[in-house]
Amino acid sequence: MRQLFVLLICFFLMAAACKKAVKKDIVPSIVYTGLSPDKVASGSSKDTVSIRFTVTDADGDISGGTGEDVFLKDSRSTTGEEIKLQMPIIPTDAVKTDEGIHAFVTIRVYASLFLLLRPDRPNGDTLTYEIYVKDRAGNKSNVINTQRIFITP
């Protein structure tokens, strides 16, 4: 009886000492933190909107410098076309494979390329962007929405 009791205690101690493997979510996650400025002149080569968000990727395979991995959809789009941008390069020493990546990201949207008035709105317009990212494995993050951006003539 005493041996059985000792065996049970050993079993419970071993079970308590074992850590369950924590399943990491390999899908990246982003959180919108803001943009500035929120007003630009249509097509201006001097105006650029900086959009900021954080990205978390548990398996650390968010790109950065390897291709199109940030996607923006203009709320005015009727075709669903997306702007495809490259994530800023994340230094390799910032990537900890056991902890993944948590980074602050700023992307720049140039008015001269992307913030143009539509012909039916020559006196001004507003838009928002839906944004998501993809990691190297093709996992798509959640979608975030920016605040309004005002475009003036």
CB 130 within 8 A of CB 75: yes
Res 95: pLDDT: 61
Domain ranges of the chain: 23-152
Q: What is the pLDDT of residues 107-138, one digit of tens each?
A: 999 999 999 999 999 999 999 999 999 988 89
CB 134 within 8 A of CB 141: yes
Query: Which class would CATH give 23-152?
Result: mainly beta
Question: What are the strands of the beta sheet with 101-110, ordered from one edge?
Answer: 29-36, 48-57, 101-110
CB 39 within 8 A of CB 149: yes
At residue 64, does pLDDT exceed 90? no
| Structure confidence at residue 21 (pLDDT) | 45
* pTM, entire model: 0.79
